[in-house]
């Protein structure tokens, strides 16, 4: 699978560890930065990640910052993205199964590397329920509303 990963300066170490782990798992990984711990603005990297997933260059995205909150907000500004902030594998799995999440966000200051790997594995291994042969369609109807809000 083609996966894009991006972070801010607070999550640079977790990003490197997850990138290397994903490559070991056989995935093609695009590391969108940053390259150092110099202070950066998380929206810049969230927008970049969202763009790469939205245009199909990457199938899934991984967004990281100190808490995961700010970068998930920036990713979700793109109407093609459904980025779920997760901290344990069940949330990561349900984000895929029920919400067809195409990106997950995690906080490097809140989630250890082993838990982050478990979340990422659950996210990548879970299929969207409506893409399964016995899908009822109820989830797709709701997912469609996420990209086309009637505000």
List b or e across 46-80, with b for residues whose CB sees 16 or more CB atoms inside 10 angstroms. bbbbbbbbbeeebebbbbbbbbbebbbbbbbebee
Whether 98 is catalytic? yes
| Catalytic pick among 27, 98, 103, 139 | 98
Gap between the Cα atoms of 68 and 150, Å rounded: 27
Whether 65 is catalytic? yes
| Catalytic pick among 65, 83, 103, 119 | 65
Gap between the Cα atoms of 63 and 39, Å rounded: 16
State the catalytic residues.
65, 98
């Amino acid at each position: 699978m083609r996966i894009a990963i991006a972070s801010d300066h607070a999550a640079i170490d977790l990003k490197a560890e997850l990138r290397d782990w994903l490559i070991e798992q056989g995935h093609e990984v695009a590391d969108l930065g940053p390259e150092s711990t110099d202070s950066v603005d998380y929206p810049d990297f969230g927008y970049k990640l969202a763009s790469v997933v939205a245009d199909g260059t990457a199938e899934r995205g991984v967004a990281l910052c100190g808490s995961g909150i700010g970068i998930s907000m920036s990713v979700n500004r793109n109407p093609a993205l459904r980025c779920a902030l997760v901290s344990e594998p069940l949330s990561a799995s349900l984000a895929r199964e029920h919400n067809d999440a195409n990106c997950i966000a995690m906080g490097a200051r809140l989630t250890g590397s082993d838990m982050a790997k478990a979340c990422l594995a659950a996210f990548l291994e879970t299929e969207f329920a409506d893409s399964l042969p016995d899908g009822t369609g109820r989830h797709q109807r709701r997912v469609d509303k996420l990209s086309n809000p009637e505000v």
